[in-house]
């Protein structure tokens, strides 16, 4: 009986994570559509710089890692304190910060 309860609890946890991510993405899409209509020089994404694209890509990677960390719950720890997911999040953040520092406008 406990196995069935655990399966249902993990199923609803996955649905909650997917629901939150879906709502966030649909709101970003709505904002982007309104901004694209208001931007008069042309298509909004045509004027995106490399630094903005790199930041968006790192944000997508970090969001994906966060979802993986919530769903899979890593068992091993680095130095008995943080998981590998947390360490990867920190590395991506630091690389993005370095990239913005070196190539920022």
Q: What is the pLDDT of residues 25-77, one digit of tens each?
A: 566 667 777 777 887 888 777 777 888 888 889 988 998 888 888 888 777 77
| Of 16-25, 69-78, 91-100, minimum mean pLDDT range | 16-25
Same domain, 56 and 100: yes
d(Cα 57, Cα 95) in Å, to the nearest integer? 12
Q: Do 21 and 40 belong together in one domain?
A: yes
Tokens at 95, concatenated: 């690389």
Based on the fold, state whether residues 41 and 91 are members of the same structural domain. no
Q: Domain of residue 2: give its range.
A: 1-45
84 and 74 Cβ atoms separated by less than 8 Å: yes
Q: Are residues 38 and 53 located together in one domain of the fold?
A: no
Instruction: Check whether residue 56 and residue 16 sit in a common domain.
Output: no
Domain count for the chain: 2
Do 74 and 87 sit in the same domain of this protein? yes
Give the predicted TM-score (pTM) of the model: 0.62
pLDDT band at 13 (very low <50, low <70, confident <90, very high): low
- HSE-CB at 30 with a 13 A cutoff on CA atoms is 6
Tell me: do 52 and 96 sit in the same domain.
yes
């Amino acid at each position: 009986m406990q196995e069935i309860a655990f399966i249902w609890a993990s199923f609803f946890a996955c649905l909650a994570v997917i629901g939150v991510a879906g709502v966030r993405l649909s709101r970003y899409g709505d904002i982007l559509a309104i901004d694209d209509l208001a931007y008069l020089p042309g298509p909004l994404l045509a004027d995106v710089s490399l630094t903005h694209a790199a930041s968006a890509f790192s944000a997508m990677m970090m969001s994906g890692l966060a979802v993986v960390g919530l769903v899979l719950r890593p068992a091993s720890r680095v130095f008995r304190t943080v998981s590998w997911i947390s360490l990867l999040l920190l590395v991506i953040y630091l690389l993005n910060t370095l990239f913005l520092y070196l190539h920022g406008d």
